[in-house]
Structure 1
Amino acid sequence: MKKNKFREMLGVLLICSVVLSACSTSSQASTTAAVTTSATTAAAAASSQSGETTAAAPASVAVSDVVTFDEADKAVDWSAETSTAIKLNGTSAAVTGSGAKASGSTVTISAAGTYVLSGTLSDGQVVVDVQDDGDVHLVLNGANIHDNDSAGIYIKEAGNVVLTLQEGTENTISDGATYVFADAATDEPSAAIFSKADLTINGTGKLSVVASYNDGITSKDDLKIVSGTIDITAADDGIVGKDMVAIEDGTVTIKAEGDGIKSTNDTDEGRGFIAIAGGTFTIEAGNDGIQAETELIVDGGTFNLVTGGGNVNGEVKQEEGPGGMGMQRGGMNATSAAGTSADAAATATTETTETGSTSAKGVKAGGDMTVNGGTFTIDSADDALHSNSNVTVTGGEFEIATGDDGIHADALTTIAGGSINITKSYEGIEGANITISGGEIHVVASDDGINVAGGSDETSEAAGGRADQFSASSNNLLTISGGIVNVDAAGDGLDSNGSISMTGGTVSVNGPTMNGNGALDYDGTFNISGGTLVAAGSSGMAQATSEESSQFTISMTFSQAQQAGTLVHLQDSDGNTIMTFAPSKNYQSVVISSPELAQGGSYTLYTGGSSTGSNTDGLYTDGAYTGGTKVTDFEVSSSVTWLNESGVTTANSGGGFGGGGGGGRPQGGGR
């Protein structure tokens, strides 16, 4: 009997939708409903406050909600008196006990029970063929099995099979590069360890799998890993579970030409998912590192993933200019110098023709992806985290270098916690809608840092368009209500092909040094009612927040580019610091919004100088500011105060390459 709570929960929820009163005794369904209601209520509250339509976040889900690791999965004990011993010896085997027989180099297990394998089989196979669906416990007790033309272990039929790696032993299962099948219509087995029944691996020993033909370990049903040290080298995929792959713990090392870990069932509801509670994973894959056909849930673990040869093999893309055209970037002015590596990478890119390239993503889900914890180091040629539906991150630590997007969702990207450090990307964080309510996020991008666009990048590619060429929609929304966000982008810093709503958090943007993009870029509105925002970059496409905002903003445009590291300091008439910021790149425009700005207040803006305060992402706290040059004195009289070196000016509704919403653009900045 399958212990799959995910399928059970789906059934309960379906019944609840028809007869709600009948579900009062289902605590699991009640919890799910409560979480969903909470998420919907929070979304509605944010929508009401911001005046925008906020996408509702998916209900919170953990590994324990979808799968159970029961006593049978964890059973490792056995005794010589109650088990059958199978001693492997070259091209033959000796069986002591009942339920199994040896014929030449083939051992066939035909009855339920415990079987202990030891010794070496140089060219042979262990077959499990239990017709009454009985449960089988296989113990690898120092077993080395190689089959030149088929699977080393072939589980043809059984109820559930538990494969135990005996403590203190090393075991190896391997195959040849070519399989021999009964006829042309047969293509199974197709892995060094191949099971047509539920398969669980446990124990504290070591298992090495060398799969020269195709996959390392495959189950055509459920595949669970409870514990053990597993080392796989595979000609195609490392670990495959059709209905699910569920991992509680263990140390897993995979070097695969195809995918590292994958599930494949895309037809049966509630199946085809991957759930990882913990473990240590080192995966080098030619294609995806971890790929779930439907949902993917990670609660914890340590992950070191390299896919497609790493980020250096990412597809080179040309940045899209306004109106979807490829563009040559124009500098701020003759005094502009190169910015950070993000700008250099963007300037060096050349246009390539889109092809149906192989997916080489770090972690990928066809359905929802939820990451509640874990430590991830991802070096991927394609997206690091990718979902064809929603991505939700509630915790974890991420170090990401990618040849494409750092985090991508075709629908909603939600970040509520964790530490995310994207050191290299084409676009840092992307989704049709993005909601950030917590966590600490650092993004370096050769194009847009955070991009709310709408649509599916894979759909665009399939249609022959440029990857990530999303369609604009008034429904697209970037919502920031908490957390720390720091962006270094050669393209747009915060980019929404809809609107932006900010009610809390701290956001700092080091935007483009070229005039074809802006630190802020949106088509609808940018309503800010809380939090701290500073965005520095070029001036050609500069936008501020919207006039409808309840929190005050200043937008300063300089007549000449300021050098990277030159402080921008804003203080009130009493000398109290509103903000001190050191942009990491050259800049000609800076936007500052703070709860400390007040209607009718008098302020002074300085550049240069130094601060004795503590510097985090260029923002200084505490300490004293000295030695700066006064740029201008001004008074805040409207929600957005536009400044140049002569003082208060007015916003320009056009300018640059066009586009943009209610943030306007400033009049030129000369004295």
Structure 2
Amino acid sequence: MKRKTKYSKAAAALLCSTMLFACSPDAESVKENSTQTETVNTETVEEISSEISQKVTYNEEDYDSSWEDKNPTVIELTGSSANVNSSAAVIVSNSTITIKAAGVYALSGELENGQVVIDAEDKGTVQLVLNGAEINSSESSAIYVKNAQKTILTLAEGTENTVSDGTQYVNTDSEDEPNAAVFSKDDLTINGSGQLTVQGNYNNGITSKDELRMMEGTINITAVDDGVLGRDFVALKEGKVTIDAGGDGMKSSNDEDASKGFIMLEGGSMNITASSDGMQAETSLYAVGGSYDITSGGGSPDSIANRGNQRGSWTNETTAVSDTDSGKGLKAAGELAILGGTFTIDAADDALHSNDTLTIGGGEFTIASGDDGIHADALIETAGGNITITKSYEGIESQQITIAAGTINVTASDDGINVGGGNDGSGMDMMSSGSGTLTINGGNVTVNASGDGLDSNGSIYMTDGTVIVNGPTDNGNGPLDYDGTFEISGGLIIAAGSAGMAQAASEQSTQSSILMTYPQTQEAGTLVYLEDSEGNTVAAFTPAKSYQSVFISSPNLKKDTDYTLYSGGSFSGSSTNGLSTEGEYTNGTKLIDFTITDSVTWLNESGVTTGRSSGPGGNFQGGGQRPEGGSPEGFSGERPARPEQGSMMQQ
């Protein structure tokens, strides 16, 4: 099913409390009213719910793990062969047990070096019950579903079961099939509350060439290559799954049908350690619940070096990561959509990655990444959830980014939130498009960045929400960096950092703002306090890093109103991410009294000064201003040259 997409260039008409997907440009929709926005949101949520419900269906036999009352054929494994309670549908030839018809078959005992083959000529459903079974094969798959309408692998309650294959196979076909300890050419469902240990010594742990449903059970998989592979899709309904994979942890691989090749996560728990991607979907990846602990590509490095000032670090060499050395946490070639669940991801590469659109509508995220925390080539939208990125090169990166709701905390060695040109190479080779937008319609965002705090190679729009930016401390980057305009009509934003490239909002903004530049760098922890003429607190903020500029925009800043800015002292109210509320301010140093007369007011310790007109960032353009008395500390006054747009690749 192909959803109709809705998108605004400024992306104001988006999401209420859940999620939404990709859209098409409409520059005027930033001015649409709330009633229209609510209608759009409702329609989008209905589309998403409908699509997810149609992606994977379950029938009664998928849930039914009972077997003892179904007159099963009992197969007792005896080491080198098997005993069968008289069934013409089972052929025992030395250590190979072949099931030839649909029905229920219960295996127990040990097969030291043999194979269970399902070759059901009647094309019915085979329920294979592992009832305390150990199956080892040195030459092929331990369980091989060669021909069946559908196979249900049931893990009998209270049992422990083991399957393993050899390091070398005999008689595999030209497509290297079979290639997993449990291999099915047709649909495979795993149910039952028992335990299964899978040792994939040749290639994969569990593979289905069609649909793979994991309904329940405790499953422990170790594999030379991929842990779990389903061609049409892999769906986790419930259960506890642990994977240690030399390749990808979980993967769907159908690249011929856009409606297939996806992963669906609905519940249960997974603990994945993968040398490559934690999960990789050839098309889309959806999550609506469950708990997931993923380490991919060896995990993130202990520290991530800033790869240089982007303005001066341009190259015509791309550094895109190939599939073979990809170490992403969750990766989708199409859309990646998460409505719920708990995710702890430690990735050498991007933690969440889509080659198309990425949407977060809920869930809990703790992310450490060696590259981007969250990356999508086309569009990222957040409409809920609690996201903590503890380590990243760039925190959140895409060509278009919309934040409508949720709590987001980003720590980045380069840009905190970056709107660029997006491709699979991430921030290391993104083109500067100049047409991207960062839209903030709500939520609570905190950024700690060594590069730019909020960076848009286009424009920024803010209508609501709370944004806190700490950093950078070097003058080659700025707390805010945009090439088009930054229009603020609502919300609270405080951005503290260096002054060399500092920008304020655009003069087109309907909400007032100030940019204060200090003659010297202020120590981290030095309180910034702003109050109106009646002594009401407008902002009380304690920056986490040293700073020489502070930008503040608040609904409490009004034209033709007097204000006083203080430095230092203490504030008695509770504090979240440095922002304090409902307290008393004492022992500070009064810096300046001023009156707001324009949409943007530029300040230094001498009072109101003149800011430059809005435009591309850097060299005090775009609302930036040089403090009186010369250049900011450590700033040369010269901006590194940027090549013509599109001529080179941005590092």
What TM-score do the two structures reach when normalised by structure 1?
0.86
Is the partner of 1:85 in helix, strand or coil? strand
Aligned to 1:577: 537
Alpha-carbon offset, residue 655 of structure 1:
12
The aligned length equals 604
The question of whether the paired residues in 2 share the 8 Å contact of 1:654 and 1:665 is answered with: no
Alpha-carbon offset, residue 130 of structure 1:
1.2
Residues 1:629 and 1:199: Cα distance change in structure 2 (over 3 Å): same
Deviations 1:102-149 (A, max 9, x none): 110000001010000000000000000012311101000001000001
Alpha-carbon offset, residue 278 of structure 1:
0.5
Output the CA distance in 2 between the equivalents of 1:659 and 1:472.
19
Output the CA distance in 1 between the equivalents of 2:572 and 2:438.
34
- For residue 392 of structure 1, the aligned residue among 351, 354, 359 is 359
Output the CA distance in 1 between the equivalents of 2:22 and 2:207.
39
- For residue 30 of structure 2, the aligned residue among 43, 46, 68 is 46
Alpha-carbon offset, residue 591 of structure 1:
0.2
Aligned to 2:95: 105
The question of whether the paired residues in 2 share the 8 Å contact of 1:257 and 1:285 is answered with: yes
Alpha-carbon offset, residue 38 of structure 1:
12
Output the CA distance in 1 between the equivalents of 2:608 and 2:271.
57
The question of whether the paired residues in 2 share the 8 Å contact of 1:481 and 1:502 is answered with: yes
Aligned to 2:143: 153
Aligned to 1:526: 486
Q: Does 1:449 align with 2:442?
A: no
**1:644 is aligned with what amino acid?**
N
Output the CA distance in 2 between the equivalents of 1:245 and 1:445.
33
Residues 1:316 and 1:574: Cα distance change in structure 2 (over 3 Å): closer
Residues 1:278 and 1:354: Cα distance change in structure 2 (over 3 Å): closer
Aligned to 1:122: 112
Q: Does 1:202 align with 2:191?
A: yes
Residues 1:192 and 1:592: Cα distance change in structure 2 (over 3 Å): same
Is the partner of 2:460 in helix, strand or coil? strand
Output the CA distance in 1 between the equivalents of 2:144 and 2:115.
7
**2:115 is aligned with what amino acid?**
Q
Residues 1:511 and 1:232: Cα distance change in structure 2 (over 3 Å): same
Alpha-carbon offset, residue 502 of structure 1:
0.1
Q: Does 1:636 align with 2:623?
A: no
Give unmatched runs, 5+ long, in structure 1. Answer: 1-8, 15-34, 51-55, 327-350, 461-466
1:317-332 alignment, distance < 5 Å: 318-325=307-314
- For residue 435 of structure 1, the aligned residue among 398, 402, 405 is 402
Stretch of structure 1 that moved more, 555-564 or 93-102: 93-102
The question of whether the paired residues in 2 share the 8 Å contact of 1:537 and 1:587 is answered with: yes
Output the CA distance in 1 between the equivalents of 2:480 and 2:285.
33
Is the partner of 2:593 in helix, strand or coil? strand
1:92-491 alignment, distance < 5 Å: 92-98=81-87, 99-181=89-171, 185=174, 187-312=176-301, 318-325=307-314, 356=322, 358-458=325-425, 467-491=427-451
Is the partner of 2:61 in helix, strand or coil? helix
Aligned to 2:560: 600
Output the CA distance in 2 between the equivalents of 1:478 and 1:376.
25
Alpha-carbon offset, residue 667 of structure 1:
4.0
Output the CA distance in 2 between the equivalents of 1:661 and 1:196.
62
Alpha-carbon offset, residue 68 of structure 1:
1.6
Alpha-carbon offset, residue 313 of structure 1:
7.5
The question of whether the paired residues in 1 share the 8 Å contact of 2:183 and 2:208 is answered with: yes
Residues 1:38 and 1:325: Cα distance change in structure 2 (over 3 Å): closer
**1:456 is aligned with what amino acid?**
N
Alpha-carbon offset, residue 443 of structure 1:
0.3
- For residue 572 of structure 2, the aligned residue among 587, 603, 612 is 612
The question of whether the paired residues in 2 share the 8 Å contact of 1:499 and 1:526 is answered with: yes
**2:401 is aligned with what amino acid?**
I
The question of whether the paired residues in 1 share the 8 Å contact of 2:394 and 2:413 is answered with: yes
Q: Does 1:649 align with 2:609?
A: yes
Output the CA distance in 2 between the equivalents of 1:472 and 1:165.
53
Output the CA distance in 1 between the equivalents of 2:318 and 2:104.
58
Give unmatched runs, 5+ long, in structure 2. Answer: 5-18, 35-39, 632-651
Deviations 1:407-454 (A, max 9, x none): 000011000000000000000011110000100000000000000112
Alpha-carbon offset, residue 96 of structure 1:
1.3
Output the CA distance in 2 between the equivalents of 1:420 and 1:408.
14
The question of whether the paired residues in 1 share the 8 Å contact of 2:22 and 2:357 is answered with: no
Output the CA distance in 2 between the equivalents of 1:141 and 1:413.
46
**2:475 is aligned with what amino acid?**
N
Deviations 1:38-97 (A, max 9, x none): 9889996435589xxxxx999442542411222111111123662111110111111114
Aligned to 2:10: none
Judging by fraction of residues, say which structure has more helix: 1
The question of whether the paired residues in 2 share the 8 Å contact of 1:651 and 1:667 is answered with: no
**1:481 is aligned with what amino acid?**
N
Stretch of structure 1 that moved more, 393-402 or 127-136: 127-136
Output the CA distance in 2 between the equivalents of 1:377 and 1:73.
29
- For residue 545 of structure 1, the aligned residue among 499, 505, 510 is 505
1:555-570 alignment, distance < 5 Å: 555-570=515-530
Aligned to 1:623: 583
Deviations 1:599-621 (A, max 9, x none): 11111100000010010110000
Output the CA distance in 2 between the equivalents of 1:472 and 1:319.
16
**1:160 is aligned with what amino acid?**
K
Deviations 1:557-602 (A, max 9, x none): 0000000000000001111110000000000000000001111111
Residues 1:670 and 1:632: Cα distance change in structure 2 (over 3 Å): farther
The question of whether the paired residues in 2 share the 8 Å contact of 1:563 and 1:586 is answered with: yes
Is the partner of 2:428 in helix, strand or coil? coil
Output the CA distance in 1 between the equivalents of 2:66 and 2:289.
27
The question of whether the paired residues in 2 share the 8 Å contact of 1:383 and 1:404 is answered with: yes
Output the CA distance in 2 between the equivalents of 1:661 and 1:497.
15
Stretch of structure 1 that moved more, 70-79 or 378-387: 70-79
Output the CA distance in 2 between the equivalents of 1:390 and 1:178.
40
**1:123 is aligned with what amino acid?**
N
Output the CA distance in 1 between the equivalents of 2:291 and 2:78.
39
Output the CA distance in 1 between the equivalents of 2:216 and 2:66.
14
Aligned to 1:347: none
Output the CA distance in 1 between the equivalents of 2:95 and 2:21.
60
Is the partner of 1:651 in helix, strand or coil? coil
Alpha-carbon offset, residue 186 of structure 1:
5.4
Alpha-carbon offset, residue 321 of structure 1:
3.1
Aligned to 2:15: none
Output the CA distance in 2 between the equivalents of 1:296 and 1:561.
46
**2:188 is aligned with what amino acid?**
L
Output the CA distance in 1 between the equivalents of 2:21 and 2:442.
21
Output the CA distance in 1 between the equivalents of 2:424 and 2:61.
43
Output the CA distance in 1 between the equivalents of 2:448 and 2:22.
34
Output the CA distance in 1 between the equivalents of 2:459 and 2:614.
18
**2:229 is aligned with what amino acid?**
V
Residues 1:191 and 1:223: Cα distance change in structure 2 (over 3 Å): same
The question of whether the paired residues in 2 share the 8 Å contact of 1:322 and 1:659 is answered with: no
Could you say what the CA RMSD is over the residues aligned between the two structures, in angstroms? 2.7
**1:273 is aligned with what amino acid?**
F
Output the CA distance in 2 between the equivalents of 1:181 and 1:38.
47
The question of whether the paired residues in 1 share the 8 Å contact of 2:540 and 2:580 is answered with: yes
The question of whether the paired residues in 1 share the 8 Å contact of 2:306 and 2:413 is answered with: no
The question of whether the paired residues in 1 share the 8 Å contact of 2:108 and 2:132 is answered with: yes
Output the CA distance in 1 between the equivalents of 2:243 and 2:21.
40
**1:583 is aligned with what amino acid?**
P
Aligned to 1:342: none
The question of whether the paired residues in 2 share the 8 Å contact of 1:642 and 1:650 is answered with: yes
Q: Does 1:89 align with 2:78?
A: yes
Output the CA distance in 2 between the equivalents of 1:487 and 1:385.
18
